[in-house]
Amino acid sequence: MLDPRVTERRNPRSADIDLASPLEIVDLMTAEDRGVADAVATQREPIARAIALVEGAFRDGHRLFYVGAGTSGRLGVLDASECPPTFGSDPVMVQGIIAGGPAALLRAQEGAEDRPDGARSDLETAGVARGDVVVGIAASGTTPYVRAALESASSVGAKTVILACSPPATALLDLVDVAILPITGPEVVTGSTRLKAGTATKLVLNMLTTGAMVRLGKTYGNLMVDLQATNDKLRDRSERLMMITCGLSREAARQALAAADGRVKVAITMQKLGLSADAARARLAEAGGVIRRVVPDAPPPVE
């Protein structure tokens, strides 16, 4: 019987993968992966709508939650955990909730995805409330944990998004505010959604948080000016950003950053407009955090 879930169907192109050489396996998987970006591109409009929902939530002081099980849950936690160092965001702004809890990040928690009560409890513990955005990630489109999470989120007035690589049931589509459905087709290894479906999921999550953070003014052009300089690499990047955008020496860049408490965006505004740190922060706040609304000139062109 044909499984209605596209991600569970057998891929005829990989039927003899067990007889393939290493190079043939690479070629086969590369050929399959080429279609992933195209599948994501078909969802450009719903992805954009989801970005707008997330931006609006952030501007109103609300949060983004990713909810999933297995690979889907791990990808959500991964994206959430990378937002603070990349964009200087508060860790509570983007949170990942995975079926089975933190232990599921390292080892599969069998049966956790089949427990709707677990989802409801996890969202309650996280304090999901009206105005938040909850993105349910379910490669197959049928995960009970994710469905229950979206139902629970909707019941408290949160905005909801389903991200799936196989068409979900109509009832679930009717429940959510946005449906993002990059249909990537049968996997190279049947049902292994860490492959094409996982890649598509990562691409979409990249767009959601990057898009929303850019809209919040976390970049100056394409420069990452709200990063947290928590290690030597990021401190060096912060200094180089000041050197590039303001024409400073390395030592002058360090001094400018020190005067701005290490915040690159504040330091750039101080340098460009001759302001104190407090005045620069106030001007940025008035502009919704978008540096291009405060600083008159664009970043230097790419060399």
What CATH number is associated with residue 242? 1.10.8.1080
Given a cut of 90, whether residue 68 has pLDDT beyond it is yes
Note whether 26 and 117 are same-domain residues: yes
CA atoms within 13 A on the CB side of 225: 29
Q: Which active-site residues does the annotation give?
A: 82, 113
What per-residue confidence (pLDDT) applies to 114? 61
Report whether 45 contacts 76 (CB < 8 A). Answer: no
Residue 271 maps to a domain: yes
Residue 246 maps to a domain: yes
Given a cut of 60, whether residue 115 has pLDDT beyond it is yes
Given a cut of 90, whether residue 256 has pLDDT beyond it is yes
Residue 269 maps to a domain: yes
Residues 51-70: what's their mean pLDDT? 97
What per-residue confidence (pLDDT) applies to 183? 95
Residue 249 maps to a domain: yes
Note whether 52 and 129 are same-domain residues: yes
Query: Looking at the 3D structure of the chain, how many domains does it have?
Result: 2
What per-residue confidence (pLDDT) applies to 9? 84
Q: Which of 182, 215, 248 is the last residue of a domain?
A: 215
Give the domain range for residue 234: 219-293
Note whether 211 and 229 are same-domain residues: no
Average pLDDT, the chain: 92
Q: Which of 108-122, 165-179, 206-220 has the lowest mean pLDDT?
A: 108-122
Given a cut of 80, whether residue 140 has pLDDT beyond it is yes
Distances (CA, A) of 93 to 87, 90, 254: 11, 6, 29
Residue 240 maps to a domain: yes
User: Cα(118)–Cα(109) distance, rounded to whole angstroms?
Assistant: 12
What per-residue confidence (pLDDT) applies to 52? 98
Note whether 178 and 284 are same-domain residues: no
Note whether 137 and 236 are same-domain residues: no
Where does the pLDDT of residue 2 fall: very low under 50, low under 70, confident under 90, or very high at 90 and above?
A: low
Closest among 203, 157, 154, 148 to 60, alpha carbons compared: 157
pTM: 0.91
What per-residue confidence (pLDDT) applies to 113? 67
Note whether 230 and 206 are same-domain residues: no
Q: Which of 215, 238, 260 is the last residue of a domain?
A: 215
Note whether 182 and 253 are same-domain residues: no
Note whether 227 and 83 are same-domain residues: no
Residues 256-277: what's their mean pLDDT? 93
Q: Which of 215, 246, 269 is the last residue of a domain?
A: 215
CA 255 to chain centre: 33
Helix (H, G, I), strand (E, B) or coil at 124: helix
Note whether 98 and 199 are same-domain residues: yes
Residues 155-180: what's their mean pLDDT? 96
